[in-house]
Structure 1
């Protein structure tokens, strides 16, 4: 069924349905086992492998380089669809798609060609940026040192989302002089150990735990020549979270509609002999679906802003202004989208009876996952950032970093 026929609106391009058709069988398989996987806490190794097999991880590469040449709005719409299946899988691939943007925007032809080839071959990249140690904001405890002619890294990273499933870890560190270093380190390199010790009540299958680097030799061609990230990086990573939330909303809306249609028990103080005919119940289902629809529409509108920055950067112009405006668009979407989806994933229970809380249905995972995602990069600051822009023309911060004060 097309997205339009499902009532979610047309995709972001004329070719979108043809592009999405390649991946929807994998999305459906992922969704079919999501509840059981969540209950058993089984990590989605197989599910990510399915996506690699059908070329999902090469979406943004040009067709001539072995990819699909997907635009950013096409990518984000597909991430919404994937998140309908399992938001854990989307989050596990977030760093990979961000690294791909870094490759596409790299000023180094050699770096760009090397990593385009690896991504086209199906290799994937996980996250190794955040830390929970005592490093101050803007600094890292993970250090790259010289050892003769070699470069060796030592340190520990947390929130290493996707790295347990990946071939490479996108590592942020600093050298002995405190200068920033960005590298892609093989997950199979001696001295790399990735531990699934993430114990959050939501997004539990993303392997967002700890990665240890102990005397890891970093090959020189693993080190990014320019440590700066792509110009729309902050907006991109936040919008992946919003796309994931929109997909959770769609899944919740479809589940509550199906369960209402199947429900046979009614209340004596209800409004119909069949739950599906009760206008109050229908209104609850409609609100859940409306919230999900609005969340998706907002995500796709913000994705257009990112596409504009990408095109400005690709054409050789200064992307600073368009990147700041893209940050504004995404920031002003954060609270709205999270509120819509949190409301939907709570309100859906009003359309069902007490049996809806049974673990076998897994409906609680929608709220747990949405609440967990909404806690990343705290949304309480986003409205203030947008307000500062609206009142004083203040550009959003170019980086969001965490550390000790």
Structure 2
């Protein structure tokens, strides 16, 4: 399923015709090299030429879109139906596509143009994740730095010119806050993105839109999508520049029982778990569809099982396993836990004091257990009565062979 979807999406993102850079907006659904070759480093492709291309935003954005759509369709084919959709940056375009806002052709044009125009911007911008709130951060901004994302109550991303971002980072490092520099090619969602907005608006104006068929929460407004929002071309231009309000979006969905991150890295799992906990809500399941360095099939199946166990999804197991497994109905009532072990009294602890033993002669008919009595005693689990049936003494020692007295 995911392979079929990926092929369909990547076909729409096929190589750009040999036109000049100024004409890229015309075939806006294409990029220069095959995204499939860049993503999979195909053996038939020029591996040296493709090395490192996935780190360039012109290819990273289409690749993210393709993987996210493919994973969504995979879980959808397994019977997983989302109650709400939320997308972080490029993820919101994928969410809008699967919700029916764009056709695949228009979504590919939007994603490809977005990545190309960003790639064409001058390099030099930086981004940093900072342990701080929005209210603490924004007073430190000037025209060269902006708030790229609010991922948590005390987790933001600042983006812009290096000197301006370094000044903000130094302030928070000085008061003991955690900071992490992000590996990026450009300062996304910052003032440095503004020079591309006019050209991008020209591309978006030529697309067709429809109201979403699935409920969505906007990460531009941080609120549930209202009619007319996603069908306005200006919204998708704002989407490039404005802050990603992921914290607000997840806060609106705090009552949900679980979340599935549909993406290649699982980078939002920790933030998604933390947001409800900050509001006093716990017990929600948050799982990634994929994890770097982990077996892809096992990770996806683990996510599916976790959602099912948390009663947040009702997978179609026949669709999952096909004819390779038999389905067995489980009881609809709690398991009846009954013990089938024989209960016996605890053994006597041996004393280290010397004990004397009396020699007892064997009595006729003693020392062997009649078969019928033995079976009845075992059937009743009458372990305390079993020594008497066996003709043993109260101390549990056999009365058969005489033993000499111990001095």
Instruction: Provide the TM-score with structure 2 as the length reference.
Output: 0.27
| Relative contact order higher in (CA < 8 Å, ≥ 6 apart) | 1
Give the structure with higher Rg (CA). 2
Name the structure with the higher helix share. Answer: 1
